[in-house]
């Protein structure tokens, strides 16, 4: 089944006197359980595409479907619901809530989802152990390294078992050892939980694992490589 | 503690200095409000009690229309039996009959126009403080004797002393000439200049003979145990009156409209001052919460991206304000209540108190009166206006776009 389908997406930004085409009649499909890497030079449109798929930004034209449901015409509230229950986000800059501990950051999304406190606690401890942060649950983000913070961000993104994880340069701020650990974690989730990943990255190590590579330029897909077939 | 409560609480202490400054402004204004409101309403209570205790009483039974147009012919028939019946039915001694007339009071040297009151010497001390304020001589002790007590200022103006005689000339109820010579048996000093200059009291029996009242009078004064029970007692007294005589019960605010108006005018000016104070605090809260929201735009972008709805984020900001407001309310009410209660016990003076004291028969030392209402009303208004002030930053969050918010530093 198709996890994500984008049809003829266009998005233009105004920068000074210039119109920049971030998405230019872009269409693509990602199957459930897929592991897709988007790569492009800076400004190639990969973050704009991730934002459109995640309902964070609306395309000027075109259609976006998640698990068969069209989402580009949903209201702000419905988009928030969609992100809350079906999509996990991992950002380049970790983006944790600074006054909450690692466990509380992970629990926060579940609290918003209305998960009971005991279940929240159990799940958050379990997922933090899974990302290798056992014993660090009560640390604040300021008391953790960049890699540890990114692991918390990943734990937050996947704790509710979303069908789709969107990650924007997740390894950009990590040392190679931590980045390898994160890639292993993504692999594990993809292989064992069937989670679909769409990752915008320049990192060759991530690209090496991807089942499919999508190269973008000026808002268009210029090359697609199916690494399973290769 | 609930995670959202924990988040709101910790958010408050990201900038402890700013939180303490804003909370401090709330505490300061709440302390001030508790003190001012306690003082203000304590003073009103004293003004009312003292003014009413001096002479007017909590309520009076009168003929219909007498309060608006005090004609001598508008009388309460058989006033002494009526007062006696009310005393027995209410099981209270704080009921006394009176009659009033205007007369020219003449001593050997001078004459002045005064208001003469016929009173029941036995019961008047229960409804008026004047009998207890006789500083020279004694109060009336007979219902028929040709005796009179006058105020200190009137005695000075007429140049009379205890034992001297006064001649009173006036008109009787039937329009006939009324005259009597009475001996000054006492001189009172109420501290209220108007009373001490214009009032004289004589026995009701003598008054009824001199002014041809035929057993009638003009008012039956009734006092309630407490000011707060006036409305209830008024209804009870009205139910006990004979139905066919056109009698009405007037309570103190109808009898002394000037006092109520003075209090209302004072409340209006005080409310204006309180409003300025509350608005200043509200702006301080608005400033704090707006800065706090602007600083966290990036973070708000993240949680919006994670799926939190803007309305819930707005409520988080309101919750932070509510926590700060609760601290301000509790600390303000606690400190304000303690300071005011202490001043209530010790008492204090203010410039201008002598003049005000003379006008409203107030003591020279003020004792603020802490009540639940004075303790909580001001801080509650500050709390509500603080919440109202934080509505703007909270609503501002609704306009946030997750992508743009995450781009901000």
Q: How many Cα neighbours within 13 Å face the side chain of B157? A: 16
pLDDT for the residue B259? 84
CA B165 to chain centre: 40
Shortest Cα–Cα distance, B304 to chain A (Å) = 7
Average pLDDT, chain B: 89
**Are B198 and B80 within one domain?**
yes
**Are B189 and B151 within one domain?**
yes
pLDDT category, B266, cuts 50, 70, 90?
Answer: confident
**pLDDT exceeds cutoff 70 at B356:** no
Query: Is the CB of A107 less than 8 angstroms away from the CB of B406?
Result: no
**Are B149 and B207 within one domain?**
yes
Rounded Cα distance between B114 and A211, Å, is: 111
Tokens of B56: 């007017």
**Are B124 and B193 within one domain?**
yes
Task: Report yes or no on B247 lying in a domain.
Answer: no
Query: Is the CB of A97 less than 8 angstroms away from the CB of B7?
Result: yes
Which positions 308-327 of B are in contact with A (Cβ < 8 Å)? 308-310, 312
Give the count of domains, chain B: 2
Q: What is the pLDDT of residues B114-153, one digit of tens each?
A: 999 999 999 999 999 889 889 999 999 988 899 999 999 9
DSSP strand pairing (B199-203 vs B219-222): unpaired
Rounded Cα distance between B214 and B211, Å, is: 9
Which ranges of B58-151 would DSSP assign to H, the alpha helix?
79-90, 124-127
Partners of A156 on chain B (C-beta within 8 Å) are: 306
| Residues B149 and B139 sit within 8 Å (Cβ to Cβ) | yes
Question: Which of B168, B200, B223 is the endpoint of a domain?
Answer: B223
- Which residue numbers in chain A have pLDDT < 50? none
Q: How large is the average pLDDT for residues B67-75?
A: 89
Show Cβ contacts of residue B332 under 8 Å, excluding neighbours closer than 6 positions.
B26, B27, B28, B29, B30, B31, B33, B34, B379, B382
Task: Report yes or no on B203 lying in a domain.
Answer: yes
Query: Is the CB of B309 less than 8 angstroms away from the CB of A77?
Result: yes
Per the listing, tokens 């090496």 go with A208
Task: Report yes or no on B283 lying in a domain.
Answer: yes
Rounded Cα distance between B216 and B78, Å, is: 5
Partners of B6 on chain A (C-beta within 8 Å) are: 100, 104
pLDDT for the residue B148? 96
Chosen for mutation from A75, A108, A115, A138 (greatest number of chain B CBs closer than 10 Å) is: A108
Query: Is the CB of B307 less than 8 angstroms away from the CB of A83?
Result: yes
pLDDT for the residue B338? 95
Rounded Cα distance between B363 and B354, Å, is: 8
Tokens of B293: 């929201």
DSSP strand pairing (B177-188 vs A87-90): unpaired
Mean pLDDT lowest among A44-53, B17-26, B51-60: B51-60
Question: Which of B223, B247, B270 is the endpoint of a domain?
Answer: B223
| Residues B42 and B344 sit within 8 Å (Cβ to Cβ) | yes
**Are B283 and B402 within one domain?**
yes
| Residues B38 and B368 sit within 8 Å (Cβ to Cβ) | yes
**pLDDT exceeds cutoff 90 at B210:** yes
Q: What is the pLDDT of residues B304-351, one digit of tens each?
A: 888 888 888 888 888 999 999 999 999 999 999 999 999 988 888 877
**pLDDT exceeds cutoff 80 at B51:** no
In angstroms and rounded to an integer, the radius of gyration of the C-alpha atoms of chain A is 17
| Sequential DSSP letters for A33-70 | T-EEEEE-STTSSHHHHHHHHTTSS--SEEEEEETTEE
| Sequential DSSP letters for B58-76 | SEEEEETTTTTS--TT--B
3-state secondary structure of A17: coil
**Are B73 and B183 within one domain?**
yes
Q: What is the pLDDT of residues B2-15, one digit of tens each?
A: 777 888 888 888 88
**pLDDT exceeds cutoff 70 at B361:** no
Whether chain A has a CB inside 8 Å of the CB on B8: the answer is no
DSSP strand pairing (B165-171 vs B177-188): antiparallel
pLDDT for the residue B409? 63
User: What domain range includes position B142?
Assistant: 59-223
Q: What is the pLDDT of residues A151-206, one digit of tens each?
A: 899 889 888 888 899 999 888 877 788 788 888 888 888 888 889 999 999 888 88
Q: Which residue in A51, A84, A97 is closest to B307 by CB distance?
A: A84
| Residues A24 and A13 sit within 8 Å (Cβ to Cβ) | no
DSSP strand pairing (B219-222 vs B95-106): antiparallel
pLDDT for the residue B330? 94
User: What domain range includes position A38?
Assistant: 2-226
CB atoms within 10 A of CB B137: 16
**Are B41 and B86 within one domain?**
no
Whether chain A has a CB inside 8 Å of the CB on B10: the answer is yes
**Are B28 and B151 within one domain?**
no
Let me know the angle formed at the C-alpha of B144 by B141 and B149, rounded to the nearest 5 degrees.
50
pLDDT for the residue B379? 92
Give the count of domains, chain A: 1
Whether chain A has a CB inside 8 Å of the CB on B104: the answer is no
3-state secondary structure of B381: helix
pLDDT category, B359, cuts 50, 70, 90?
Answer: low
**Are B282 and B384 within one domain?**
yes
**Are B188 and B273 within one domain?**
no
Rounded Cα distance between B292 and B13, Å, is: 11
pLDDT category, B401, cuts 50, 70, 90?
Answer: confident
Express as a percent the part of chain B with pLDDT over 70: 97
Partners of B19 on chain A (C-beta within 8 Å) are: none
**pLDDT exceeds cutoff 70 at B292:** yes
Query: Is the CB of B307 less than 8 angstroms away from the CB of A82?
Result: yes
Distances (CA, A) of B3 to A58, B8, B397: 32, 9, 20
Q: How large is the average pLDDT for residues B73-97?
A: 93
Task: Report yes or no on B401 lying in a domain.
Answer: yes
| Residues B165 and B183 sit within 8 Å (Cβ to Cβ) | yes
Task: Report yes or no on B317 lying in a domain.
Answer: yes
Partners of A81 on chain B (C-beta within 8 Å) are: 307
**Are B164 and B92 within one domain?**
yes
Task: Report yes or no on B243 lying in a domain.
Answer: no
Query: Is the CB of A56 less than 8 angstroms away from the CB of B305?
Result: yes
Q: How large is the average pLDDT for residues B377-401?
A: 89
Whether chain A has a CB inside 8 Å of the CB on B338: the answer is no
Give the number of beta-carbon pairs within 8 Å between A and B: 64
Rounded Cα distance between A106 and B196, Å, is: 80
**pLDDT exceeds cutoff 70 at B358:** no
Q: Which residue in B3, B14, B402 is closest to A111 by CB distance?
A: B3
Distances (CA, A) of B402 to A56, A216, B301, B406: 6, 24, 4, 6
- Cα of first residue to Cα of last residue in chain B, in angstroms, is 31
Percent composition of chain A: helix, strand, coil (DSSP 3-state, to 5):
35, 30, 35
User: Residue A116 sits in a domain of what CATH number?
Assistant: 3.40.50.300
CB atoms within 10 A of CB B245: 14
Rounded Cα distance between B3 and B310, Å, is: 18
Query: Is the CB of A112 less than 8 angstroms away from the CB of B307?
Result: yes
Compare B222 and B294 and report the one with higher pLDDT: B222
**Are B101 and B175 within one domain?**
yes
Strands in A69-70's sheet, in edge-to-edge order, are A18-31, A2-15, A61-66, A69-70
Partners of B316 on chain A (C-beta within 8 Å) are: none
């Amino acid at each position: 089944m198709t996890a994500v389908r984008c049809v003829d997406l266009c998005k233009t930004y105004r920068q000074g006197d210039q119109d920049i085409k971030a998405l230019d009649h872009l269409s693509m499909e990602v199957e459930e359980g897929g592991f897709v890497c988007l790569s492009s030079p800076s400004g190639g449109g990969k973050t704009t595409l991730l934002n459109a798929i995640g309902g964070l930004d609306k395309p000027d034209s075109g259609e976006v479907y998640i698990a068969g449901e069209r989402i580009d015409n949903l209201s702000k509230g419905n988009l928030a619901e969609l992100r809350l229950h079906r999509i996990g986000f991992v950002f380049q800059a970790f983006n944790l809530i600074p006054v909450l501990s690692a466990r509380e950051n992970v629990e926060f999304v579940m609290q918003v989802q209305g998960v009971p406190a005991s279940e929240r606690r159990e799940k958050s401890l379990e997922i933090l152990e899974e990302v290798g942060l056992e014993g660090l649950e009560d640390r604040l983000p300021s008391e953790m390294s960049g890699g540890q913070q990114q692991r918390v961000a990943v734990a937050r993104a996947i704790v509710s078992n979303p069908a789709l994880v969107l990650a924007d340069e997740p390894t950009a701020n990590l040392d190679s050892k931590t980045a390898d650990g994160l890639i292993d974690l993504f692999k594990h989730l993809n292989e064992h939980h069937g989670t679909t990943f769409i990752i915008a990255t320049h990192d060759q190590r991530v690209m090496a694992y991807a089942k499919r590579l999508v190269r973008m330029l000026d808002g268009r897909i210029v090359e697609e490589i199916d690494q399973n077939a290769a | 503690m609930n995670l959202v409560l924990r988040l709101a609480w910790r958010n408050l202490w990201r900038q402890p200095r700013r939180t303490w400054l804003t909370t401090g402004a709330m505490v300061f204004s709440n302390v001030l409000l508790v003190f001012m409101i306690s003082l203000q309403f304590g003073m009103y209570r004293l003004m009312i009690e003292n003014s009413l205790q001096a002479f007017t009483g909590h309520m009076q039974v009168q003929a219909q229309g007498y309060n608006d147009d005090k004609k001598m012919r508008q009388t309460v028939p058989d006033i002494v039996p009526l007062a006696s019946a009310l005393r027995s039915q209410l099981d209270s001694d704080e009921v006394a009959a009176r009659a009033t007339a205007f007369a020219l009071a003449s001593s050997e040297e001078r004459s002045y126009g005064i208001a003469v009151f016929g009173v029941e010497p036995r019961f008047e001390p229960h409804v008026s403080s004047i009998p207890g304020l006789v500083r020279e001589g004694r109060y009336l002790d007979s219902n028929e004797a040709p005796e009179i007590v006058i105020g200190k200022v009137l005695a000075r103006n007429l140049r009379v002393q205890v034992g001297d005689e006064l001649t009173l000339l006036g008109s009787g109820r039937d329009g006939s000439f009324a005259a009597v010579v009475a001996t000054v048996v006492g001189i009172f000093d109420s501290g209220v200049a108007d009373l001490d200059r214009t009032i004289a009291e004589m026995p009701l029996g003598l008054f009824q003979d001199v002014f041809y009242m035929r057993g009638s009078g003009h008012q039956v004064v009734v006092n309630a145990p407490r000011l707060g029970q006036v409305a209830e007692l008024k209804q009870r007294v009205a139910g006990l009156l004979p139905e066919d005589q056109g009698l009405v019960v007037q309570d103190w605010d109808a009898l002394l409209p000037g006092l109520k108006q003075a209090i209302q005018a004072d409340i209006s000016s005080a409310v204006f001052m309180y409003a300025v104070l509350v608005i200043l605090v509200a702006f301080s809260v608005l400033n704090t919460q707006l800065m706090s929201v602007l600083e966290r735009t990036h973070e708000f972008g993240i949680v919006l991206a994670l799926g939190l709805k803007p309305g819930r984020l707005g409520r988080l900001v309101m919750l932070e304000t509510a926590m700060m407001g609760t601290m301000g309310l509790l600390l303000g009410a606690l400190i304000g209540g303690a300071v005011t209660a202490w001043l209530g016990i010790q008492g204090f003076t203010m410039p201008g108190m002598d003049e005000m004291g003379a006008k409203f028969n107030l003591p020279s030392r003020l004792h603020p009166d802490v009540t639940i209402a004075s303790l909580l009303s001001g801080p509650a208004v500050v709390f509500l206006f603080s919440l109202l002030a934080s509505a703007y930053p909270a609503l501002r969050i609704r306009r946030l776009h997750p992508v743009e918010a995450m781009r901000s530093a």
